[in-house]
């Protein structure tokens, strides 16, 4: 599968993705909201409530509260579908999405006061399966997400780099390798080079010698992890 980035920025023009994971939160740069939704695509028991303060625009912030259907029903959350052409998620994804999306109603805002209220009501937020945040459809954050849930994020990232390389990769080994890197190092970048047909992993490592190492400087280390 090839996943279109739906972006036109430095990171996508150069085939770069950055991903980080810490304390049950995952965030990335060069990732559209579509990547976050792909991570949930197989969960038919989920519903989404989306909120975009500045309506349908190419830029801005998009917030999504994800609930299990049974919990949404128990909380008696309204299920008000978006009118045709008014869905923030469909707008940013460039078409229909697999999961059910509903309007972020005044009742939902009154009860959860998300994202304005900080700190959030932890008792209420515990009812939420996941929050998704996207800035300019370019910076993506998912919370909470378990280490096993990260597999669902790495798969669409591989599909994204399939698009960059115009090539379908076998993800069995690559996904497992990237998951191990993310859990052990906390952050990395991957960069596709379509002309060479390669992907390199970019990590921060301690300087090998001299004053920079003494002062704790870190340098970028590139490792070839895929070759067509």
pLDDT digits (tens, 9 = 90+) for 189-204: 999 999 999 999 999 8
Question: Is residue 74 helix, strand or coil?
Answer: helix
Question: CB–CB of 140/40 below 8 Å?
Answer: no
Residues 45 and 132 in one domain: yes
| Exposed/middle/buried for residue 126 (C-beta within 10 Å: 0-12, 13-18, 19+) | exposed
Residues 153 and 75 in one domain: no
Residues 93 and 176 in one domain: no
Work out how many domains the chain is built from and give that number.
2
How confident is the model at residue 216, as a pLDDT?
53
Question: CB–CB of 125/153 below 8 Å?
Answer: no
CA nearest 132: which of 48, 69, 55? 48
Question: CB–CB of 28/138 below 8 Å?
Answer: no
Q: Rounded to the nearest 5 degrees, what angle is found at the Cα of 115, between the Cα atoms of 60 and 99?
A: 75
Residues 28 and 52 in one domain: no
Residues 212 and 128 in one domain: no
Confidence of residue 173 (pLDDT cuts 50, 70, 90): confident
Tens-digit pLDDT profile for residues 120-171: 567 777 899 999 999 988 999 999 999 989 989 999 999 999 999 999 888 7
Range of the domain at 92: 35-137
Q: What is the mean pLDDT of residues 63-81?
A: 94
Could you tell me which residues come within 8 angstroms of residue 64 by beta carbon, excluding any fewer than 6 positions away? 33, 36, 48, 49, 50, 51, 89, 131, 132, 133
Residues 63 and 95 in one domain: yes
Residues 151 and 80 in one domain: no
Domain termination residue (choose one: 137, 165, 198): 137
Residues 10 and 52 in one domain: no
Residues 67 and 120 in one domain: yes
For 180, other C-beta atoms within 10 Å of its C-beta total 10
How confident is the model at residue 217, as a pLDDT?
64
Residue that is written with structure tokens 């591989």 in the block: 158
Question: CB–CB of 202/193 below 8 Å?
Answer: no
Residues 20 and 113 in one domain: no
Residues 108 and 156 in one domain: no
Residues 13 and 58 in one domain: no
Q: Is the pLDDT of residue 215 over 60?
A: no
Domain termination residue (choose one: 103, 137, 171): 137
Question: Is residue 204 helix, strand or coil?
Answer: strand
Confidence of residue 56 (pLDDT cuts 50, 70, 90): low
Confidence of residue 109 (pLDDT cuts 50, 70, 90): confident
């Amino acid at each position: 599968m090839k996943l279109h980035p739906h972006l036109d920025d430095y990171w996508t023009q150069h085939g770069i993705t950055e991903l980080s994971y810490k304390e049950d939160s995952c965030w990335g740069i060069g990732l559209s909201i579509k990547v976050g939704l792909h991570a949930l695509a197989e969960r038919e028991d989920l519903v989404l409530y989306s909120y975009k303060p500045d309506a349908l625009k190419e830029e801005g912030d998009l917030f999504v509260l994800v609930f299990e259907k049974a919990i949404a029903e128990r909380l008696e959350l309204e299920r008000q579908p978006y009118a045709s052409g008014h869905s923030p998620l469909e707008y940013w994804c460039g078409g229909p999405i697999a999961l059910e999306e509903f309007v972020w109603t005044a009742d939902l805002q009154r009860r959860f006061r998300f994202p304005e209220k900080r700190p959030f009501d932890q008792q209420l937020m515990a009812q939420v399966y996941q929050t998704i945040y996207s800035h300019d459809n370019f910076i993506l954050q998912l919370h909470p997400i378990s280490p096993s849930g990260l597999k669902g994020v790495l798969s669409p990232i591989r599909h994204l780099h399939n698009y960059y390389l115009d090539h379908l990769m076998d993800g069995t080994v690559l996904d497992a390798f990237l998951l191990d890197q993310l859990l052990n190092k906390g952050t990395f970048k991957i960069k596709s080079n379509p002309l060479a047909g390669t992907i390199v992993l970019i990590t921060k490592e301690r300087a090998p010698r001299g004053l920079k190492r003494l002062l704790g400087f870190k340098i970028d280390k590139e490792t070839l992890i895929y070759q067509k």
